[in-house]
Chains A and B, each alone.
Chain A
Amino acid sequence: MIMRKVVEGSIAVAHAVRTIKPDVIAAYPITPQTHIVEKISEYIANGELNAEYVRADSEFSAISILVGASATGARTFTSTSSQGLALMHEVLFNAAGMRLPIVISVANRALSAPLNIWNDQQDSISQRDSGWIQFYAEDIQEAHDLLAIAYRVSEDIEVRLPSMVCMDGFILTHAYEPVELFEESEIRDFLPDYNPEVYLTTENPLTFGALATPEYYTEFRYVQTRAMERAEKKIAESLKEFNEHFQRGETDLLPVHGPEDGDVLVVSSGSLVSTVKEVAEKLGNDGFGVKVGKMLCFRPFPADAMRKIADGVDKVIVFEKDVSPGSEGAIFSEVKGALYHSENRPEAYGFAVGLGGRDVPERVLEKLIMECIRGERKEGFHFGDVRPVREAIL
Protein backbone atom coordinates (compact mmCIF):
# COMPACT_ATOMS: atom_id res chain seq x y z
CA MET A 1 0.00 0.00 0.00
CA ILE A 2 1.31 3.42 -0.93
CA MET A 3 1.06 6.13 1.71
CA ARG A 4 0.76 9.35 -0.24
CA LYS A 5 0.35 12.62 1.66
CA VAL A 6 0.85 16.34 1.22
CA VAL A 7 3.63 17.11 3.68
CA GLU A 8 6.34 19.71 4.19
CA GLY A 9 9.75 18.75 2.78
CA SER A 10 11.36 18.72 6.22
CA ILE A 11 8.64 16.46 7.57
CA ALA A 12 9.08 14.03 4.65
CA VAL A 13 12.79 13.83 5.48
CA ALA A 14 12.08 13.33 9.19
CA HIS A 15 9.62 10.58 8.27
CA ALA A 16 12.22 8.83 6.11
CA VAL A 17 14.70 9.00 8.98
CA ARG A 18 12.13 7.50 11.35
CA THR A 19 11.63 4.47 9.10
CA ILE A 20 15.40 4.09 8.60
CA LYS A 21 15.73 3.96 12.40
CA PRO A 22 19.06 5.53 13.28
CA ASP A 23 20.32 4.66 16.76
CA VAL A 24 21.85 8.06 17.52
CA ILE A 25 20.90 11.56 16.35
CA ALA A 26 22.88 14.60 17.48
CA ALA A 27 21.96 18.04 16.21
CA TYR A 28 22.07 21.75 16.70
CA PRO A 29 19.31 23.95 15.25
CA ILE A 30 19.89 26.21 12.24
CA THR A 31 17.54 27.69 9.65
CA PRO A 32 16.32 26.24 7.27
CA GLN A 33 17.09 22.79 8.65
CA THR A 34 15.41 23.09 12.04
CA HIS A 35 12.04 21.51 11.21
CA ILE A 36 13.79 18.22 10.38
CA VAL A 37 15.39 17.62 13.78
CA GLU A 38 12.44 19.17 15.60
CA LYS A 39 10.17 16.55 14.07
CA ILE A 40 12.65 13.74 14.79
CA SER A 41 12.89 14.77 18.46
CA GLU A 42 9.08 14.76 18.54
CA TYR A 43 9.02 11.18 17.17
CA ILE A 44 11.46 10.12 19.90
CA ALA A 45 9.50 11.95 22.63
CA ASN A 46 6.28 10.25 21.45
CA GLY A 47 7.90 6.82 21.40
CA GLU A 48 7.59 6.55 17.60
CA LEU A 49 11.35 6.22 17.18
CA ASN A 50 13.62 4.41 19.59
CA ALA A 51 16.84 6.40 19.32
CA GLU A 52 19.23 8.44 21.41
CA TYR A 53 18.79 12.15 20.67
CA VAL A 54 21.65 14.39 21.79
CA ARG A 55 21.10 18.14 21.85
CA ALA A 56 24.62 19.22 21.04
CA ASP A 57 26.08 22.61 21.99
CA SER A 58 27.21 23.28 18.41
CA GLU A 59 27.39 21.61 15.01
CA PHE A 60 31.03 20.79 15.73
CA SER A 61 29.87 18.82 18.77
CA ALA A 62 26.96 17.24 16.91
CA ILE A 63 29.13 15.68 14.23
CA SER A 64 31.83 14.77 16.78
CA ILE A 65 29.21 12.91 18.84
CA LEU A 66 28.17 11.02 15.70
CA VAL A 67 31.77 10.06 14.96
CA GLY A 68 31.95 8.47 18.41
CA ALA A 69 28.53 6.85 18.08
CA SER A 70 29.22 5.53 14.59
CA ALA A 71 32.50 4.01 15.79
CA THR A 72 30.48 1.93 18.27
CA GLY A 73 28.48 0.52 15.37
CA ALA A 74 25.44 2.77 15.70
CA ARG A 75 23.48 4.02 12.69
CA THR A 76 23.68 7.81 12.95
CA PHE A 77 21.98 10.91 11.53
CA THR A 78 22.15 14.67 11.74
CA SER A 79 20.98 17.63 9.72
CA THR A 80 22.46 21.08 9.25
CA SER A 81 22.87 24.09 6.94
CA SER A 82 25.31 26.79 5.96
CA GLN A 83 27.52 27.96 8.87
CA GLY A 84 26.56 24.78 10.70
CA LEU A 85 28.07 22.61 7.98
CA ALA A 86 31.05 24.96 7.78
CA LEU A 87 31.60 24.51 11.51
CA MET A 88 31.61 20.72 10.99
CA HIS A 89 34.31 21.01 8.33
CA GLU A 90 37.24 19.65 10.34
CA VAL A 91 35.26 16.67 11.66
CA LEU A 92 33.85 15.81 8.20
CA PHE A 93 37.37 14.79 7.15
CA ASN A 94 37.73 12.67 10.29
CA ALA A 95 34.43 10.89 9.67
CA ALA A 96 35.40 10.08 6.08
CA GLY A 97 38.96 9.08 6.97
CA MET A 98 37.70 6.75 9.72
CA ARG A 99 35.29 5.32 7.11
CA LEU A 100 32.19 5.93 9.25
CA PRO A 101 28.87 5.77 7.34
CA ILE A 102 27.26 8.82 8.95
CA VAL A 103 24.45 10.46 6.96
CA ILE A 104 23.71 14.19 7.04
CA SER A 105 20.67 15.81 5.55
CA VAL A 106 21.91 19.22 4.37
CA ALA A 107 19.31 21.96 3.91
CA ASN A 108 21.35 24.05 1.49
CA ARG A 109 21.78 27.69 2.51
CA ALA A 110 24.15 30.54 1.60
CA LEU A 111 27.22 31.30 3.71
CA SER A 112 27.96 34.57 5.52
CA ALA A 113 29.08 37.34 5.18
CA PRO A 114 26.83 39.12 4.37
CA LEU A 115 24.37 37.25 6.58
CA ASN A 116 21.80 35.40 4.49
CA ILE A 117 19.45 32.61 5.53
CA TRP A 118 18.25 31.73 2.03
CA ASN A 119 19.14 29.01 -0.42
CA ASP A 120 22.19 28.34 -2.51
CA GLN A 121 24.55 25.36 -2.57
CA GLN A 122 27.82 27.01 -1.53
CA ASP A 123 27.73 25.27 1.86
CA SER A 124 27.87 21.68 0.63
CA ILE A 125 29.83 22.37 -2.57
CA SER A 126 32.54 23.86 -0.30
CA GLN A 127 32.83 20.45 1.41
CA ARG A 128 33.55 18.60 -1.82
CA ASP A 129 37.05 17.46 -0.77
CA SER A 130 36.01 16.18 2.67
CA GLY A 131 35.58 12.61 1.38
CA TRP A 132 31.79 12.54 1.73
CA ILE A 133 29.42 11.23 -0.89
CA GLN A 134 27.13 14.08 -1.97
CA PHE A 135 23.61 13.66 -3.35
CA TYR A 136 21.47 16.56 -4.59
CA ALA A 137 17.68 16.17 -4.53
CA GLU A 138 15.49 17.69 -7.22
CA ASP A 139 12.25 17.57 -5.24
CA ILE A 140 10.87 16.56 -1.87
CA GLN A 141 10.18 12.99 -2.97
CA GLU A 142 13.80 12.58 -3.97
CA ALA A 143 15.12 14.16 -0.74
CA HIS A 144 13.05 11.56 1.12
CA ASP A 145 14.04 8.64 -1.14
CA LEU A 146 17.75 9.44 -1.39
CA LEU A 147 18.13 9.00 2.37
CA ALA A 148 17.51 5.27 2.01
CA ILE A 149 19.93 5.10 -0.90
CA ALA A 150 22.54 7.12 1.03
CA TYR A 151 22.47 4.74 4.01
CA ARG A 152 22.60 1.70 1.77
CA VAL A 153 25.60 2.96 -0.18
CA SER A 154 27.41 4.42 2.84
CA GLU A 155 27.05 1.25 4.92
CA ASP A 156 28.07 -1.07 2.08
CA ILE A 157 31.35 -2.77 3.05
CA GLU A 158 32.74 -1.95 -0.41
CA VAL A 159 32.21 1.75 0.31
CA ARG A 160 31.94 2.63 4.03
CA LEU A 161 32.00 6.38 3.51
CA PRO A 162 29.69 9.06 4.94
CA SER A 163 26.99 10.74 2.82
CA MET A 164 25.31 14.10 2.57
CA VAL A 165 21.82 14.26 1.09
CA CYS A 166 21.48 17.89 0.02
CA MET A 167 18.13 19.58 -0.52
CA ASP A 168 17.60 23.24 -1.36
CA GLY A 169 16.73 25.15 1.79
CA PHE A 170 13.21 26.64 1.87
CA ILE A 171 12.54 25.72 -1.79
CA LEU A 172 12.31 22.07 -0.74
CA THR A 173 12.50 22.08 3.08
CA HIS A 174 9.58 24.47 3.51
CA ALA A 175 7.41 23.49 0.53
CA TYR A 176 4.40 21.15 0.66
CA GLU A 177 3.90 18.54 -2.04
CA PRO A 178 2.30 15.13 -2.32
CA VAL A 179 4.96 12.60 -1.24
CA GLU A 180 4.93 8.80 -1.24
CA LEU A 181 6.16 8.09 2.27
CA PHE A 182 8.11 4.98 3.27
CA GLU A 183 6.36 2.25 5.20
CA GLU A 184 8.66 0.72 7.81
CA SER A 185 8.23 -2.78 6.37
CA GLU A 186 9.23 -1.79 2.82
CA ILE A 187 12.32 0.06 4.01
CA ARG A 188 13.37 -3.02 5.99
CA ASP A 189 13.50 -5.01 2.72
CA PHE A 190 15.58 -2.38 0.91
CA LEU A 191 17.95 -1.34 3.67
CA PRO A 192 19.41 -4.11 5.83
CA ASP A 193 20.38 -3.41 9.45
CA TYR A 194 23.83 -1.94 9.96
CA ASN A 195 26.09 -4.55 11.51
CA PRO A 196 29.71 -3.45 11.09
CA GLU A 197 32.52 -5.99 11.36
CA VAL A 198 34.63 -3.77 13.61
CA TYR A 199 33.20 -1.53 16.31
CA LEU A 200 34.14 0.02 19.58
CA THR A 201 33.05 -1.40 22.94
CA THR A 202 34.34 -0.94 26.47
CA GLU A 203 35.37 -4.62 26.45
CA ASN A 204 37.25 -4.37 23.15
CA PRO A 205 38.96 -1.00 23.00
CA LEU A 206 40.17 0.13 19.59
CA THR A 207 41.79 3.26 18.18
CA PHE A 208 40.10 5.07 15.31
CA GLY A 209 41.97 7.69 13.34
CA ALA A 210 45.41 6.85 14.69
CA LEU A 211 48.56 8.55 13.41
CA ALA A 212 49.58 7.64 9.86
CA THR A 213 53.14 8.64 9.10
CA PRO A 214 54.35 9.70 5.64
CA GLU A 215 55.02 6.01 4.94
CA TYR A 216 51.28 5.27 5.16
CA TYR A 217 49.20 8.43 4.76
CA THR A 218 49.21 8.41 0.95
CA GLU A 219 47.95 4.83 0.89
CA PHE A 220 45.11 5.71 3.25
CA ARG A 221 44.01 8.47 0.89
CA TYR A 222 44.48 6.14 -2.06
CA VAL A 223 42.15 3.46 -0.66
CA GLN A 224 39.66 6.15 0.34
CA THR A 225 39.65 7.41 -3.25
CA ARG A 226 39.16 3.86 -4.51
CA ALA A 227 36.22 3.43 -2.13
CA MET A 228 34.69 6.57 -3.63
CA GLU A 229 35.16 5.07 -7.10
CA ARG A 230 33.37 1.92 -5.96
CA ALA A 231 30.63 4.14 -4.50
CA GLU A 232 29.84 5.32 -8.03
CA LYS A 233 28.96 1.77 -9.07
CA LYS A 234 27.07 1.12 -5.84
CA ILE A 235 24.99 4.28 -6.25
CA ALA A 236 24.05 3.29 -9.79
CA GLU A 237 23.06 -0.20 -8.57
CA SER A 238 21.13 1.14 -5.59
CA LEU A 239 19.18 3.58 -7.74
CA LYS A 240 18.07 0.74 -10.00
CA GLU A 241 17.18 -1.52 -7.10
CA PHE A 242 15.32 1.30 -5.39
CA ASN A 243 13.32 1.88 -8.55
CA GLU A 244 12.46 -1.83 -8.80
CA HIS A 245 11.48 -1.92 -5.14
CA PHE A 246 9.44 1.29 -4.97
CA GLN A 247 8.53 1.89 -8.68
CA ARG A 248 9.81 5.46 -8.58
CA GLY A 249 13.00 7.51 -8.78
CA GLU A 250 15.90 7.91 -11.18
CA THR A 251 17.68 4.83 -12.51
CA ASP A 252 20.87 6.50 -13.76
CA LEU A 253 23.82 8.06 -11.97
CA LEU A 254 23.53 11.07 -14.27
CA PRO A 255 19.96 11.15 -15.55
CA VAL A 256 19.30 12.88 -18.87
CA HIS A 257 16.01 14.43 -19.89
CA GLY A 258 15.08 15.65 -23.34
CA PRO A 259 16.11 14.78 -26.90
CA GLU A 260 19.01 12.30 -27.13
CA ASP A 261 20.31 14.07 -30.25
CA GLY A 262 20.10 17.58 -28.73
CA ASP A 263 22.89 20.00 -29.69
CA VAL A 264 22.89 21.65 -26.30
CA LEU A 265 23.43 19.98 -22.92
CA VAL A 266 22.45 21.91 -19.80
CA VAL A 267 23.81 20.56 -16.50
CA SER A 268 22.42 21.58 -13.13
CA SER A 269 21.76 20.26 -9.64
CA GLY A 270 19.02 20.26 -7.02
CA SER A 271 15.64 21.93 -7.43
CA LEU A 272 16.98 24.09 -10.25
CA VAL A 273 16.90 20.99 -12.50
CA SER A 274 13.08 21.14 -12.53
CA THR A 275 13.08 24.68 -13.86
CA VAL A 276 15.80 23.88 -16.38
CA LYS A 277 13.69 20.97 -17.67
CA GLU A 278 10.66 23.26 -18.12
CA VAL A 279 12.79 25.72 -20.10
CA ALA A 280 14.37 22.95 -22.20
CA GLU A 281 10.92 21.62 -23.05
CA LYS A 282 9.74 25.06 -24.11
CA LEU A 283 12.87 25.60 -26.24
CA GLY A 284 12.28 22.17 -27.75
CA ASN A 285 8.85 23.31 -28.89
CA ASP A 286 10.57 26.32 -30.46
CA GLY A 287 12.82 23.97 -32.43
CA PHE A 288 15.97 23.94 -30.28
CA GLY A 289 17.39 20.59 -29.20
CA VAL A 290 18.21 21.09 -25.52
CA LYS A 291 18.78 18.17 -23.17
CA VAL A 292 19.23 18.36 -19.42
CA GLY A 293 21.81 16.49 -17.33
CA LYS A 294 20.88 16.16 -13.68
CA MET A 295 23.84 16.05 -11.33
CA LEU A 296 22.29 13.67 -8.83
CA CYS A 297 25.65 13.12 -7.14
CA PHE A 298 28.59 15.53 -7.10
CA ARG A 299 30.83 13.17 -5.13
CA PRO A 300 31.71 10.77 -6.58
CA PHE A 301 31.74 12.97 -9.69
CA PRO A 302 30.26 10.98 -12.60
CA ALA A 303 32.93 11.99 -15.15
CA ASP A 304 32.45 9.00 -17.49
CA ALA A 305 28.69 9.49 -17.55
CA MET A 306 29.22 13.22 -18.18
CA ARG A 307 31.39 12.47 -21.24
CA LYS A 308 28.77 10.04 -22.47
CA ILE A 309 25.82 12.42 -22.25
CA ALA A 310 27.86 15.29 -23.72
CA ASP A 311 28.95 13.15 -26.69
CA GLY A 312 27.89 14.89 -29.89
CA VAL A 313 26.64 18.16 -28.38
CA ASP A 314 27.96 21.54 -29.58
CA LYS A 315 27.51 23.40 -26.36
CA VAL A 316 27.47 22.56 -22.67
CA ILE A 317 25.88 25.03 -20.25
CA VAL A 318 26.16 24.69 -16.47
CA PHE A 319 23.84 26.47 -14.01
CA GLU A 320 24.97 26.31 -10.41
CA LYS A 321 24.33 27.99 -7.07
CA ASP A 322 27.91 28.46 -5.93
CA VAL A 323 31.09 30.29 -6.92
CA SER A 324 34.76 29.95 -6.04
CA PRO A 325 36.03 33.56 -6.00
CA GLY A 326 39.22 33.79 -8.02
CA SER A 327 38.14 30.84 -10.16
CA GLU A 328 34.62 29.88 -11.26
CA GLY A 329 31.72 27.65 -10.31
CA ALA A 330 32.92 24.31 -8.95
CA ILE A 331 30.51 22.21 -11.00
CA PHE A 332 31.53 24.07 -14.16
CA SER A 333 35.21 23.33 -13.48
CA GLU A 334 34.51 19.64 -13.00
CA VAL A 335 32.24 19.32 -16.03
CA LYS A 336 34.95 20.94 -18.17
CA GLY A 337 37.56 18.69 -16.55
CA ALA A 338 35.56 15.62 -17.55
CA LEU A 339 35.07 16.88 -21.12
CA TYR A 340 38.78 17.63 -21.65
CA HIS A 341 39.18 13.99 -22.63
CA SER A 342 36.29 14.03 -25.12
CA GLU A 343 37.08 13.61 -28.79
CA ASN A 344 34.94 16.56 -29.82
CA ARG A 345 35.14 19.05 -27.01
CA PRO A 346 31.98 21.18 -26.93
CA GLU A 347 31.92 24.90 -26.15
CA ALA A 348 31.44 25.39 -22.42
CA TYR A 349 29.46 28.08 -20.60
CA GLY A 350 29.01 28.31 -16.85
CA PHE A 351 26.62 30.52 -14.88
CA ALA A 352 26.23 31.21 -11.18
CA VAL A 353 22.52 31.82 -10.54
CA GLY A 354 20.21 31.85 -7.55
CA LEU A 355 22.79 32.86 -4.96
CA GLY A 356 21.55 33.76 -1.48
CA GLY A 357 17.96 32.82 -2.30
CA ARG A 358 17.48 34.81 -5.50
CA ASP A 359 14.61 33.14 -7.33
CA VAL A 360 15.56 31.71 -10.73
CA PRO A 361 12.53 32.14 -13.00
CA GLU A 362 12.27 30.36 -16.33
CA ARG A 363 12.73 33.60 -18.30
CA VAL A 364 16.24 34.10 -16.80
CA LEU A 365 17.38 30.60 -17.79
CA GLU A 366 15.76 30.85 -21.22
CA LYS A 367 17.53 34.14 -21.91
CA LEU A 368 20.92 32.76 -20.86
CA ILE A 369 20.54 29.54 -22.86
CA MET A 370 19.45 31.49 -25.95
CA GLU A 371 22.39 33.88 -25.61
CA CYS A 372 24.73 30.86 -25.63
CA ILE A 373 22.91 29.29 -28.61
CA ARG A 374 23.06 32.55 -30.59
CA GLY A 375 26.74 32.99 -29.81
CA GLU A 376 26.14 36.21 -27.87
CA ARG A 377 28.03 34.98 -24.81
CA LYS A 378 31.73 34.41 -24.45
CA GLU A 379 32.70 30.89 -23.51
CA GLY A 380 33.59 30.57 -19.85
CA PHE A 381 32.09 31.51 -16.51
CA HIS A 382 29.62 34.32 -15.80
CA PHE A 383 27.28 35.55 -13.11
CA GLY A 384 23.95 34.76 -14.75
CA ASP A 385 21.54 37.02 -12.88
CA VAL A 386 23.68 39.86 -11.47
CA ARG A 387 22.40 43.45 -11.53
CA PRO A 388 24.61 46.38 -12.59
CA VAL A 389 26.80 47.23 -9.59
CA ARG A 390 28.57 50.35 -8.37
CA GLU A 391 31.18 49.69 -5.70
CA ALA A 392 31.37 52.25 -2.92
CA ILE A 393 33.02 52.88 0.40
CA LEU A 394 30.55 53.84 3.12
Chain B
Amino acid sequence: MDEVVITLGGVVKPGTARKNKTGSWKVFKPVVDHEKCILCMRCVNYCPEPCISVVDEKIEMDYDYCKGCGICGDVCPVDAIEMVYETKG
Protein backbone atom coordinates (compact mmCIF):
# COMPACT_ATOMS: atom_id res chain seq x y z
CA MET B 1 0.00 0.00 0.00
CA ASP B 2 1.13 3.54 -0.71
CA GLU B 3 2.59 5.47 2.17
CA VAL B 4 0.54 8.50 3.17
CA VAL B 5 2.18 11.65 4.55
CA ILE B 6 0.34 13.20 7.48
CA THR B 7 1.44 16.68 8.56
CA LEU B 8 1.33 17.66 12.23
CA GLY B 9 -2.21 18.90 12.91
CA GLY B 10 -3.13 18.49 9.25
CA VAL B 11 -1.73 21.98 8.53
CA VAL B 12 -1.57 22.81 4.82
CA LYS B 13 -0.38 25.76 2.72
CA PRO B 14 -2.94 28.04 1.05
CA GLY B 15 -3.94 27.96 -2.60
CA THR B 16 -4.53 24.23 -2.98
CA ALA B 17 -7.84 24.87 -4.80
CA ARG B 18 -5.75 26.16 -7.74
CA LYS B 19 -4.76 22.57 -8.47
CA ASN B 20 -8.37 21.52 -9.01
CA LYS B 21 -9.22 22.77 -12.50
CA THR B 22 -12.98 22.90 -12.17
CA GLY B 23 -13.40 24.13 -15.76
CA SER B 24 -13.99 20.56 -16.92
CA TRP B 25 -17.28 20.57 -15.02
CA LYS B 26 -19.12 22.88 -17.44
CA VAL B 27 -21.73 21.86 -19.95
CA PHE B 28 -22.36 25.40 -21.25
CA LYS B 29 -19.47 27.78 -21.87
CA PRO B 30 -19.86 31.58 -21.62
CA VAL B 31 -18.64 33.35 -24.79
CA VAL B 32 -18.28 37.15 -24.81
CA ASP B 33 -19.26 39.30 -27.76
CA HIS B 34 -16.68 42.08 -27.37
CA GLU B 35 -18.55 44.29 -29.86
CA LYS B 36 -21.58 44.37 -27.57
CA CYS B 37 -19.66 44.44 -24.25
CA ILE B 38 -19.72 47.85 -22.50
CA LEU B 39 -17.19 46.82 -19.80
CA CYS B 40 -19.71 47.48 -17.01
CA MET B 41 -17.92 44.85 -14.89
CA ARG B 42 -21.10 43.23 -13.62
CA CYS B 43 -20.00 39.78 -14.76
CA VAL B 44 -16.64 40.32 -13.04
CA ASN B 45 -18.34 41.12 -9.75
CA TYR B 46 -21.02 38.42 -9.94
CA CYS B 47 -18.82 35.49 -11.01
CA PRO B 48 -18.83 33.19 -7.96
CA GLU B 49 -15.49 31.59 -8.81
CA PRO B 50 -14.12 34.36 -9.58
CA CYS B 51 -12.69 33.73 -13.00
CA ILE B 52 -13.61 36.78 -15.06
CA SER B 53 -11.12 39.62 -15.33
CA VAL B 54 -10.38 42.59 -17.57
CA VAL B 55 -7.19 42.30 -19.62
CA ASP B 56 -6.26 45.10 -22.05
CA GLU B 57 -9.70 46.67 -21.81
CA LYS B 58 -11.38 43.36 -22.64
CA ILE B 59 -13.33 40.83 -20.58
CA GLU B 60 -11.37 37.59 -20.25
CA MET B 61 -12.80 34.29 -19.00
CA ASP B 62 -10.58 31.78 -17.25
CA TYR B 63 -12.04 28.58 -18.70
CA ASP B 64 -9.72 26.48 -16.53
CA TYR B 65 -11.95 27.29 -13.56
CA CYS B 66 -15.28 28.45 -15.09
CA LYS B 67 -17.91 25.80 -14.19
CA GLY B 68 -20.44 27.18 -16.68
CA CYS B 69 -22.98 28.35 -14.09
CA GLY B 70 -24.24 31.08 -16.43
CA ILE B 71 -24.59 33.83 -13.83
CA CYS B 72 -22.40 36.15 -15.96
CA GLY B 73 -24.78 35.76 -18.88
CA ASP B 74 -27.78 36.38 -16.64
CA VAL B 75 -26.48 39.63 -15.18
CA CYS B 76 -25.10 41.08 -18.43
CA PRO B 77 -27.25 44.17 -19.19
CA VAL B 78 -26.51 44.13 -22.95
CA ASP B 79 -26.72 40.36 -23.61
CA ALA B 80 -23.09 40.23 -24.62
CA ILE B 81 -22.50 36.80 -23.04
CA GLU B 82 -23.91 33.74 -24.73
CA MET B 83 -23.89 30.30 -23.07
CA VAL B 84 -22.73 27.90 -25.77
CA TYR B 85 -23.27 24.15 -25.48
CA GLU B 86 -19.94 22.37 -25.54
CA THR B 87 -19.93 19.05 -27.36
CA LYS B 88 -17.51 16.79 -25.57
CA GLY B 89 -16.36 13.22 -25.30
Q: Residues on A close to B: CB < 8 A? A: 113-114, 387-394
Q: In the bound complex, do residue A394 and residue B3 qualify as a contact, i.e. CB atoms below 8 Å apart? A: no
Q: Please tell me which one of the listed residues A113, A114, A388, A393 contacts residue B3 in the complex, with CB atoms under 8 A apart.
A: A388
A387 to B2, CA, bound (A): 7
Q: In the bound complex, do residue B10 and residue A393 qualify as a contact, i.e. CB atoms below 8 Å apart? A: no
Q: In the bound complex, do residue B13 and residue A392 qualify as a contact, i.e. CB atoms below 8 Å apart? A: no
- What are 26 pairs between A and B in contact, CB < 8 Å? A113-B9, A113-B10, A387-B1, A387-B2, A387-B3, A387-B4, A388-B1, A388-B3, A388-B4, A389-B3, A389-B4, A390-B3, A390-B4, A390-B5, A390-B6, A391-B6, A391-B8, A392-B5, A392-B7, A393-B7, A393-B8, A394-B7, A394-B8, A394-B11, A394-B12, A394-B13
Minimal beta-carbon separation of A389 from chain B (angstroms)? 6
Nearest A residue to B3 via CB reads: A388
Q: In the bound complex, do residue A389 and residue B6 qualify as a contact, i.e. CB atoms below 8 Å apart? A: yes
For residue A390, which residues in chain B have a CB less than 8 angstroms away from its CB? 3-6
For residue A391, which residues in chain B have a CB less than 8 angstroms away from its CB? 6, 8
A387 to B6, CA, bound (A): 11
For residue B7, which residues in chain A have a CB less than 8 angstroms away from its CB? 392-394
A390 to B11, CA, bound (A): 15
Nearest B residue to A391 via CB reads: B6
Q: Residues on B close to A: CB < 8 A? A: 1-13
A387 to B16, CA, bound (A): 23
Nearest A residue to B4 via CB reads: A387
**Nearest 7 A-B pairs (CB), nearest first?**
A114-B10, A388-B3, A394-B11, A394-B7, A387-B4, A393-B8, A387-B1
For residue A113, which residues in chain B have a CB less than 8 angstroms away from its CB? 9-10
A391 to B4, CA, bound (A): 9
For residue A392, which residues in chain B have a CB less than 8 angstroms away from its CB? 5-8
A388 to B11, CA, bound (A): 19
Minimal beta-carbon separation of A385 from chain B (angstroms)? 10
Besides A113-B10, A390-B3, 6 new A-B residue pairs in contact (Cβ under 8 A), listed by A number? A114-B10, A387-B4, A389-B3, A389-B5, A390-B4, A394-B12
For residue B3, which residues in chain A have a CB less than 8 angstroms away from its CB? 387-390
Nearest A residue to B10 via CB reads: A114
For residue A394, which residues in chain B have a CB less than 8 angstroms away from its CB? 7-8, 11-13
Minimal beta-carbon separation of A169 from chain B (angstroms)? 21
For residue B11, which residues in chain A have a CB less than 8 angstroms away from its CB? 394
A342 to B81, CA, bound (A): 76
For residue B2, which residues in chain A have a CB less than 8 angstroms away from its CB? 387-388
For residue B12, which residues in chain A have a CB less than 8 angstroms away from its CB? 394
Minimal beta-carbon separation of B67 from chain A (angstroms)? 21
For residue A389, which residues in chain B have a CB less than 8 angstroms away from its CB? 3-6
Nearest A residue to B12 via CB reads: A394
For residue B8, which residues in chain A have a CB less than 8 angstroms away from its CB? 391-394
Minimal beta-carbon separation of A117 from chain B (angstroms)? 15
For residue A388, which residues in chain B have a CB less than 8 angstroms away from its CB? 1-4
Nearest A residue to B1 via CB reads: A387
A257 to B11, CA, bound (A): 45
